Amino acid sequence: MEYLRVLKKYRFFHYSATDPLEASMDITAGIETFNKSMGASFFKRKHSFINFFFIFGISSLVLYLVSVIKSAYDSRHDTTKLIYCIATFGFCCQAIMKIYSFIITRQRVVDLYENNLCYYQNMMHQSDTVKRVLCDNASLIYIVIKGTVLIYLILVITTMTIPGFSSIFLADRILPFGFVVPFIGADTLAGYLWNYIMQVIMATYYWIITVGSDITTIYNLLTAYGQLDVLMTILDELDELLERDECPEKIRDKIIEIVHQHQHHRSYLQQLVHFLNPYHFVTLGSTVPTMVISVLGLVLLDWYPGAAIVFLGSVQIFYICFLGTSLEIKTDALTLKVGAIHWNKLSIRDMKYMNLVLAMTQKPKMLAVATLPLNITAFLKVLIMDKMFTVSIYDS
C-alpha cells in the first residue's frame, strides 16, 4: 500500500483532506454519483429502483442470460463456440451475485456505511495526529478507487474493441462474447453489427455494476485498514505517555480507548467479512472454472479470445487477494506494535488489559472463502491449480 501512496503526486490521483469525516463523505458521494448511472444507491436507506437506468440494466442482464443459454444450446455441436458461451456465463453469475449482495440485500451495505459514518464522527474528538492518519487513509482510498475504475475501463474497452478490429482483417466476424442475441443472427453484416452493439451495451452495464460494487468493497476494506493505522497511532501515544511517566489515570484512559477502538474494529470487520463471504465465494466459484475453460480452449483449440477472459478473471481475483494481504500485513504490524510498548511501566491491571489486546490481535478476522484465506498465496494457488488442471487435460 505504501507504494500506491506515491501515486498521489500525480494530478489524476491527487487528493488531500484536513477533515476525515468530510473526506469520507466526499468519497462516498463520488461512489453514489457513479452508482446513479445504473439507477442504484448503496448508501441511502430509502431509494426507489423504479427508474429507467435500473430497469434497462436489469433487462439487459436478463437478455444476456437468455442469450447465453440459447447460444450454448444452439452451439452444442461446435466445441469452440460452446466453450465461449460457457466461459462468458461465469460473468453472468458474478453479475447476479452483485445484484443480490448490493441491491436485494443492500440494507447490509447501508449498515456498513452508517457504521463508518459514526466511526468518523467519533474520530473528530481524537488528536490531530490521528486525524492526519485518517486523512492519509482517505487519500489512499481515493487512489485505489480511481485506479480500479481506470483498470476495469481499460479491460472492458480492450475486450470490446479487439474483436471488432480483428474482424476487419480476418475472414470471420468475431463478437466480443460467445453468444448471439435471440432472433438476430450474426451471419449477415447487419446482424453482426446489431449483436455487437447489444454486447457493448451489456458489457457497459456489467462494467458499471462491477466497478460500483468493487469500489464500495474497497472503501469498506480500506476503512478497516485505516482503523488499524489509527490503533497503531494511539498505541504510539500510549508509549509516549509511558515514557514521560504520566499519571496512571491518563495511561488507563488511553488503554481503555485502545480496547474500545480494537473492539469496534473487530466488530466492524466481522460484519464486513460476514457480508463478503458469499459474495467472494460466488466470485471465485465462477471465475476459476471460467479461467480453466478459457485456458483449455486456448491450448486445445487455439481459441485466442480465451486469453482475454483469463486475464480479466485473474485481475478480479488478484484485487480481492491483494486487499486481503494488505489487511493481513497491517494486522501483523499492529501485533508487533502492541508487543513493543513499555510493558515494564504498566501496572498489573493495565498489563492485563493490554495482554487481552495482544491476544486478540493474534486472532484477527480475515477475508476468507470457506476455509481459504484470501491473500496473495491463495491467488498463486488458483493460478497453479489452473495450470496443473490444464496440463493434466492436455496430456490425457
* Confidence at residue 388, expressed as pLDDT on a 0 to 100 scale: 67
Closest CA to 174 of 161, 184, 155, 183: 161
Looking at residues 381-385, what average pLDDT do you find?
76
Place 299 in a pLDDT band, splitting at 50, 70 and 90: confident
Q: Is the pLDDT of residue 268 over 60?
A: yes
Q: How far apart are CA 196 and CA 180, in angstroms?
A: 9
Q: Is the pLDDT of residue 385 over 80?
A: no
Residue 49 C-alpha from the chain's centroid = 23
Domain count within the chain: 1
Q: Is the pLDDT of residue 144 over 60?
A: yes
CB 350 within 8 A of CB 252: yes
Ranges 151-160, 206-215, 378-387: which has the least confidence: 378-387
* Confidence at residue 378, expressed as pLDDT on a 0 to 100 scale: 84
Alpha helices in the chain (DSSP H): 2-5, 20-35, 52-74, 79-99, 106-122, 128-169, 189-243, 248-301, 305-339, 348-361, 376-395
Q: Is the pLDDT of residue 371 over 90?
A: no
Cβ-based burial of 283 (10 A; exposed 0-12, middle 13-18, buried ≥19): buried
* Confidence at residue 98, expressed as pLDDT on a 0 to 100 scale: 87
Closest CA to 102 of 60, 41, 175: 41
Encode pLDDT of 180-191 as tens digits.
Answer: 898 888 888 899
Place 135 in a pLDDT band, splitting at 50, 70 and 90: very high
Looking at residues 145-174, what average pLDDT do you find?
84
* Confidence at residue 141, expressed as pLDDT on a 0 to 100 scale: 92
* Confidence at residue 26, expressed as pLDDT on a 0 to 100 scale: 93
Q: How far apart are CA 119 and CA 55, in angstroms?
A: 35
The label of the residue with cell 453514489 reads 32
Ranges 144-158, 188-202, 282-296, 317-331: which has the least confidence: 282-296
Q: Is the pLDDT of residue 3 over 80?
A: no
The label of the residue with cell 493481513 reads 328
Q: What nine digits make up the cell of 258?
A: 485502545
Q: What nine digits make up the cell of 159?
A: 475486450
For residue 301, CA distances in Å to 73, 78, 224 come to 20, 11, 45
Closest CA to 305 of 80, 128, 101, 96: 80
Cβ-based burial of 254 (10 A; exposed 0-12, middle 13-18, buried ≥19): buried
Mean pLDDT in the chain? 86
CB 151 within 8 A of CB 315: yes
Q: How far apart are CA 291 and CA 309, in angstroms?
A: 7
Angle, alpha carbons 288-293-298 (nearest 5°): 125
Q: How far apart are CA 310 and CA 307, in angstroms?
A: 5
* Confidence at residue 187, expressed as pLDDT on a 0 to 100 scale: 83
Looking at residues 140-154, what average pLDDT do you find?
91
Q: Is the pLDDT of residue 396 over 60?
A: no
Range of the domain at 187: 1-395
In order, the DSSP letters of 73-98 are HHTTT-HHHHHHHHHHHHHHHHHHHH
pTM of the shown model: 0.90
Encode pLDDT of 6-64 as tens digits.
Answer: 777 777 788 888 899 999 999 999 999 999 989 999 998 888 889 999 999 899 989 98
Q: Is the pLDDT of residue 297 over 80?
A: no
CB 88 within 8 A of CB 179: yes
* Confidence at residue 301, expressed as pLDDT on a 0 to 100 scale: 67
Place 395 in a pLDDT band, splitting at 50, 70 and 90: low
Number of residues in the chain: 396
Residue 189 C-alpha from the chain's centroid = 39
Percent of the residues in the chain that have a pLDDT greater than 70, as a whole number: 95
Looking at residues 135-157, what average pLDDT do you find?
90
CB 63 within 8 A of CB 251: no
Encode pLDDT of 87-99 as tens digits.
Answer: 778 788 888 888 8
Place 278 in a pLDDT band, splitting at 50, 70 and 90: confident
* Confidence at residue 393, expressed as pLDDT on a 0 to 100 scale: 56
